[in-house]
Amino acid sequence: MDKRMTVDEAVAEVTDGMTIGFGGWGSRRKPMAFVRALVRKGVKDLTVVSYGGPDIGILCATEQLKKAVYGFVSLDSIPLEPHFRKARQNGAIESVELDEGMFLLGLRAAAQRLPFLPTRAGLGSDVLKINPHLRTVTSPYEDGEELVAVPALNVDVAFIHMNRADAAGNGQALGRDPYFDNLFCMAAKKAFMSCERIVSTDELVAGGPLQSLLINRMMVRGVVEAPGGAHFTECPPDYPRDEKLQREYAATGKDEEAWNAFRAKYLDVTESDYQNAVSR
């Protein structure tokens, strides 16, 4: 089985108005090659479901994002995401802001094809006020406890980035935190995985403990070899976050001219031109 393709072939599956899920967390192992391909493609009115970082920020800046579904949006070493902030403060986007744990349960519900999963998280907080679509559910057992029913976060297309994969779509996360990329794939109608290197299945299995084989080939429709595909976010052990480029990106939040220059240099270019421009 061979599911190899290019980022642009994968992104061709995305059309205006779709709901997109991005794996990773904050500014960690984000599928940035796919984000850049989405910018090149120019699809609009996207709903983005993400433990948010520059994926949400960039698509805010390019005005392709209509609605963000998140628990936070952060660049980690720079706590506040400047383009997301700007979009929120200008009232330019719709938002569904959830507790981080509620967000996880929403992904799990979608992966399990359930309408919702119950939790205490959210009770008493303004998360219920700002999300009037959220409902509570009463335990059918003797305790009768009232809980938040977190609705499934169903996604049309999910994008994730792994350290290694084989051509069939088995994927390996070699960093210390797998995040929830498997759930994003299972919450989606279609999922695509980029990776630092496509290797033989033998090499994949030998390349790390079995527990690192987070993605199996059922979960993904396509595999893209994209070295530096998470850059400028971190992708350990292959590379740390490019703090310098992240600072450069963050500084464009308050300066239209700087943003246009950043976009021209790093986004309105092919993936290989991007990788050359940031060559490490």
Partner 1 sequence: MSRSDLTRADVCVLAIAECFRNDGEIMVSAMGTSPSLGARLAKSTFEPDLLMTDGFNLLLRKALPLGVEPSDRDVEGWMPFGAVFDTLWWGRRHVMMGASQIDQFGNQNIACIGRWEKPKAQLLGVRGAPGNTINHVTSYWVPNHNARALVAKVDMVSGVGYDRAAALGPKASRFHEIRRVVSNLGVFDFNTPDHRMRLVSLHPGVKLEQVIDSTGFELVIPDGLDATPVPTPEQISILRELDPQGYAQKEVVE
* Binding flag, residue 97, partner 1 (CB under 8 A): yes
Segment lying near partner 1 (by CB under 8 A), choices 36-44, 68-76, 191-199, 254-262: 68-76
From the list 125, 200, 260, 272, which residue makes contact with partner 1 (rule: CB under 8 A)? 125
Q: Encode burial over 40-78: b for 16+ CB neighbours within 10 A, e otherwise.
A: eeebeebbbbbbbbbbbbbbbbbebbbebbbbbbbbbeb
List the structure tokens of 185: 């794939």
Residue 199 beta carbon to partner 1: minimum distance, rounded to whole angstroms: 24
Q: What is the DSSP string of 72-134?
A: -B--SSSSS-HHHHHHHHTT-SEEEE--HHHHHHHHHHHHTT-SEEEESTTTTSTHHHH-TT-
* Binding flag, residue 99, partner 1 (CB under 8 A): yes
* Binding flag, residue 119, partner 1 (CB under 8 A): yes
Which residues on adjacent β-strands are paired with residue 161?
Answer: 194
What is the pairing mode between strands 188-198 and 155-165? parallel
From the list 63, 145, 255, 273, which residue makes contact with partner 1 (rule: CB under 8 A)? 145
From the list 21, 23, 54, 71, which residue makes contact with partner 1 (rule: CB under 8 A)? 71
Quote the CA–CA distance of 89 and 62 in Å, as a whole number: 16
Question: Any idea of the CA torsion for 65, 68, 70, 72, to the nearest 10 degrees?
Answer: 70
Segment lying near partner 1 (by CB under 8 A), choices 7-15, 42-50, 115-123, 191-199: 115-123
Give the count of residues interacting with partner 1 (CB under 8 A): 42
Nearer to partner 1, 52 or 222 (CB): 52
From the list 1, 42, 91, 206, which residue makes contact with partner 1 (rule: CB under 8 A)? 91
Q: Within 7-66, which residues bind partner 1 (CB under 8 A)? A: 25, 52
Residue 127 beta carbon to partner 1: minimum distance, rounded to whole angstroms: 5
Nearer to partner 1, 203 or 255 (CB): 255
* Binding flag, residue 2, partner 1 (CB under 8 A): no
* Binding flag, residue 72, partner 1 (CB under 8 A): yes
Alpha helices per DSSP H over 163-241: 181-187, 201-206
Cβ atoms of residues 78 and 246 within 8 Å: yes
Cβ atoms of residues 148 and 105 within 8 Å: no
Binding positions for partner 1, rule: CB under 8 A: 25, 52, 70-74, 79-80, 84-85, 88-91, 97-102, 104, 119-127, 129-130, 143-146, 176-180
